[in-house]
Amino acid sequence: MSLLSWNFRGLGNPRAVQFLQEIIFQKRPKVIFLCETLSNKSKVDCVRQRLGYEGIFVVEARVHSGGMAMLWKKEGEAKLLNYGNNHIDLVVNMDGLPEFRVTGFYGELKRSLRRNTWNLIRRLAGESELPWCIIGDLNNMLSPTDKKGGNKYPSWLLRGFQEVLDECNLIDMELVGYPFTWEKGKGTSLWVEERLDRALISHSWNLLFPTARLVNLEISTSDHCPLWLDPVLQEFQKSVKHFRFENAWLREPMCHQIVQSSWELFSEDSFQKKIKCCSTSLAKWGKEITENFKERIAKLNKVLRRVKSRRDVESVKRYKDTHEQLCEVLNQKEIFWRQRAKQLWMRSGDQNTKYFHACASKRRKRNQISNLKNNDGVWVGWDIGLPKLVVDYFDNVFKASNTHSDAVTKFIQEGVSNEQNLALQATVEESEVRAALF
């Protein structure tokens, strides 16, 4: 269960809609709040259908400004409490989670009208006792450090917003990532950055989701960054790490030597013992090869920068050798992530390790399980019965039943002769394994 908030700056921008689709594909939020849609209800509804969400409530734009929309994944997972020109208030009720309240908020842009924003928050605070979260572009700051560049932010605006949070017992969530969410004049002497987008939570909401985090997604097609709120950080059992051979090791001459020496060292032991000792040696050695790409690349780049400006023969030779080492490390990194991404249409030589990394990381996160429903319809986690539930499920799936297959198998023509069957069942000789491997 997660929430996405973004000052969209208009649905008429195709790049913005495409960017929103990419965020949703990666983060899969259950609730989305969009402000400054600059659109009517029908246009927002078209976007909803493209995104694959069922629930929607829209506050249409006034002339050529404003406009808000709240979308939720399934129709029955949320209901409207109230709304206005600057907010949409929902009660969220999803499987496995207690009922709570989410308010998408768009604060007054003009400083002279900021008191309207403050009074609206005070009024909303008294309308429900549910755990409460306000998220959106509040157009308010709490500290001088929320602004970088430009004129000093008025102290009366800081005090006014701080007093609202104190009166309503609201907590300003810490922002993970870049500290500013809005910018203007980037790359010029007038560049200004501010934190205008935020999430405010009640103490009861904080107790309900103590491990929640608010993340600045930073990259944006708007002048505002999207915010991603994950109320429940997934807790998983630490898995046992098994040995996996890395294709990137094949580019290292040492790999072949380790395999050969490990095999010869235990020449008198069983085949299984040799495999185990060989994998242990490779894993220990390979950790230095495939787990510190970032440090190795940074170190080599530092050397290149240091010798680049020199013109003596020794520096030129060192530059050439270092550059070759850097290319080799980059090739290893690409092979490492291509092996994990399993994108079969990619060809050798594609310098796109960031893409491979994203594919592999996203797949790993999606494959994780935090809780499941048992036969009684109750959600259970890893600490309250989920391991037993998984084992029982597969026990039932693979349990032998009292079926008889003779009626089917007698019509299947044999494809393996008796001689071939005896050859397949014969014991594998060590000399055969050695010949196949070496």
Residues 33 and 121 in one domain: yes
* pLDDT string in tens for the chain (438-residue length): 789 999 988 777 788 888 888 889 888 899 999 998 888 888 889 989 989 999 999 999 887 778 999 999 998 899 999 999 999 999 998 777 789 999 999 999 999 999 999 999 999 999 989 999 999 999 999 999 999 998 999 999 999 999 999 999 999 999 998 999 999 988 888 899 999 999 999 999 988 888 889 999 887 788 899 999 987 655 545 556 677 787 777 777 788 888 888 888 887 888 888 888 888 888 888 776 666 677 777 777 877 777 776 666 677 777 778 888 788 777 777 776 666 655 444 443 345 555 555 555 555 555 677 788 888 888 888 888 888 899 999 988 888 777 777 888 888 888 888 899 998 999 999 999 999 998
Residues 95 and 211 in one domain: yes
Task: Write down the pTM of the prediction.
Answer: 0.57
Residues 225 and 279 in one domain: no
Residues 361 and 408 in one domain: no
- Tokens found for residue 1: 């269960």
- Give me the residues paired with residue 380 across strands: 372
Are the C-beta atoms of 36 and 8 separated by less than 8 Å?
A: yes
Is residue 236 a part of any domain in this protein?
no
Q: Which of 199, 230, 261 is the last residue of a domain?
A: 230
Residues 89 and 212 in one domain: yes
Is residue 214 a part of any domain in this protein?
yes
- Give me the residues paired with residue 134 across strands: 103, 200
- Tokens found for residue 4: 């996405």
**Lookup result for tokens 């069957």:** 421
Containing domain of residue 74, as a range?
Answer: 3-230
Residues 252 and 376 in one domain: no
Residues 204 and 301 in one domain: no
Residues 197 and 289 in one domain: no
* Cα–Cα distance measured from residue 385 to residue 379, given in angstroms and rounded to the nearest whole number: 10
140 SS3 class: coil
pLDDT of 69? 93
Are the C-beta atoms of 334 and 305 separated by less than 8 Å?
A: no
Residues 328 and 345 in one domain: yes
Q: Which of 366, 388, 419 is the last residue of a domain?
A: 366
Is residue 77 a part of any domain in this protein?
yes
Please, what's the b/e burial string for 331-342 (b: 16 or more CB within 10 A of its CB; e: otherwise)? Answer: bbbbbbbbbbbe
* Cα–Cα distance measured from residue 312 to residue 295, given in angstroms and rounded to the nearest whole number: 28
- Tokens found for residue 204: 């009861």
pLDDT of 347? 44
* Cα–Cα distance measured from residue 211 to residue 223, given in angstroms and rounded to the nearest whole number: 29
CA 327 to centroid of chain Cα atoms: 29
Q: What is the dihedral of CA 229, 235, 239, 244, to 10 degrees?
A: 0
For 140, list phi and psi in degrees, rounded to 5. Answer: -140, 150
In this structure, how many other beta carbons lie within 10 angstroms of the beta carbon of residue 39?
Answer: 21
pLDDT of 40? 87
pLDDT of 245? 81
> Residue 99's domain is classified under what CATH number?
3.60.10.10
CA 393 to centroid of chain Cα atoms: 29
Is residue 7 a part of any domain in this protein?
yes
β-pairing, 227-230 vs 213-216, is antiparallel
Residues 313 and 344 in one domain: yes
Helix 313-341 vs helix 293-308: crossing angle, to nearest 10: 160
Q: What is the DSSP letter of 224?
A: B
Residues 298 and 157 in one domain: no
Look at residues 325, 336, 154 and name the one whose alpha carbon lies nearest to residue 244: 336
- Tokens found for residue 418: 């008796």
Residues 124 and 57 in one domain: yes
In this structure, how many other beta carbons lie within 10 angstroms of the beta carbon of residue 365?
Answer: 12
Q: What is the DSSP letter of 250?
A: G
Quote the number of domains for the chain: 3
Q: What is the DSSP letter of 62?
A: B
